[in-house]
Amino acid sequence: MAIVETRGLTKVYRKGHQGAVVDVNLESREGEFLVLLGPSGSGKTTLLRMIAGLEEPTAGEIRIGGRVVNDLTPRQRGIAMVFQSYALYPHLTVLGNIEFPLKARGMAKADRRAKADWAAGLLGIGKLLARKPRELSGGERQRVALARAIVREPSVFLLDEPLSNLDAKLRASAREELEQFQDKVGTTTIYVTHDQVEAMAMGDRVVVMHQGEVRQIGTPADVYDNPADTFVATFLGSPPMNLLEGPRATVGFRPEHFHPAALLPAGEPFLALRFRVSHAEYLGSERVVYGTIDGGPFSGKRAVARMSSNVAARFEPATMHDFAVADRDLKFFDPDRGVATGRVELA
């Protein structure tokens, strides 16, 4: 187990162009599950590849367990990586795949077999050892890739979107297994994903990236409840946070905090908004209502409300409703730079 740190880490592919990764400063904690989250092209995979030693940084420093590893090859860094495609060796059996890192290290044959059995047992693939990767299902391949990664007990795990090749149903169970697995082995893990649900569910902390830069680092609750800027606010959450651009500040609030004024507890200070419904979606357990704000400084701005299906009110198109957001659920952002600010008086 080890701590991974990056200092001023930058990767520029073409001189004079925007870097793929720009000045990233990270510090993982011991045994932590750290998730790099961002849309595609945000630099998260490049960052992971630099930590793995597959990509050379343009500037900055990478430390693993306190040691600067910039000049070390991947094999010297004591890391294991699971690729998005799993990158299993197609001509080797499952056993051959799992044993490969041990062979590369020069471990004796008997020890290798014992280790491989241990790793296969941990992932429940003991029966598949004689198969070739093409004879396995997606979920089984993912387990083989994980077994190959843990078999040499690395100090750091790097996972690059390991669930993205699985179908939706399998993904949920694989996610849960992966979480339990990481708890069990307790190895520091850096996990790349573009899926916010994965990030929120699995991460001890989430690093939100955009255009090569880190926008926010925090626990899932942190980044969701207190987004550092408008990008983080809209990237997380579905539907995303409502952002109403006003003359003094951009006001943000989550759709689930935007509901009929009558539902607010008495005595709670709030921001009242007239809401003109354009259409509503019924999603079983909840309803999502789309519309525009009518009157006041935010007149004409679009907003979305999400509420439990238990809320009795009907939301027919073109009807007007009195909605409200509790003061404590309001977020404020600088209208020019988009970064979070303290409370701003709107009137």
Cβ proximity of 49 and 57 under 8 Å: no
Both tokens of 109, joined, read 């044959």
One-letter amino acid of 338: G
Options 97-105, 162-170, 220-228, 234-242: segment touching another protein (CB under 8 A): 97-105
Cβ proximity of 260 and 305 under 8 Å: no
Query: Does residue 89 interact with another protein by CB under 8 A?
Result: yes
Cβ proximity of 155 and 64 under 8 Å: yes
Options 6-14, 50-58, 234-242, 297-305: segment touching another protein (CB under 8 A): 50-58
Query: Does residue 109 interact with another protein by CB under 8 A?
Result: no
SS3 8: strand
Residue whose C-alpha is closest to residue 195's, from 160, 225, 221:
160
Residue whose C-alpha is closest to residue 29's, from 250, 222, 187:
187
User: Which residue's CB is nearer to another protein, number 63 or number 132?
Assistant: 132
Both tokens of 209, joined, read 């990236």
Query: Does residue 84 interact with another protein by CB under 8 A?
Result: yes
Query: Does residue 54 interact with another protein by CB under 8 A?
Result: yes
User: Which residue's CB is nearer to another protein, number 133 or number 291?
Assistant: 133
Q: Using CB under 8 A, which of 134, 169, 314, 328 touches another protein?
A: 134
Which ranges constitute the DSSP H helices of the chain?
A: 44-52, 94-104, 109-122, 138-150, 168-185, 196-202, 220-225, 230-235
Query: Does residue 190 interact with another protein by CB under 8 A?
Result: no
Residue identified by tokens 């004689």 is 130
SS3 4: strand
User: Which residue's CB is nearer to another protein, number 142 or number 216?
Assistant: 142
Both tokens of 334, joined, read 């600088």
Alpha-carbon distance of 37 to 218, in angstroms, equals: 11
Q: Using CB under 8 A, which of 25, 56, 104, 299 touches another protein?
A: 104
Query: Does residue 52 interact with another protein by CB under 8 A?
Result: yes
Instruction: Write down the least CB distance from residue 158 to another protein, Å.
Output: 8
Q: Using CB under 8 A, which of 11, 115, 143, 148 touches another protein?
A: 148
Where in 199-228 is the site for another protein (CB under 8 A)?
Answer: none
Options 31-39, 89-97, 218-226, 337-345: segment touching another protein (CB under 8 A): 89-97
Residues 6 or more apart in contact with residue 67 via CB below 8 angstroms: none
Q: Using CB under 8 A, which of 73, 238, 285, 310 touches another protein?
A: 73
Q: Using CB under 8 A, which of 100, 157, 298, 315 touches another protein?
A: 100
List of residues contacting another protein (CB under 8 A): 52-54, 73-75, 79-81, 83-85, 87, 89-91, 100-101, 103-105, 134, 148, 152
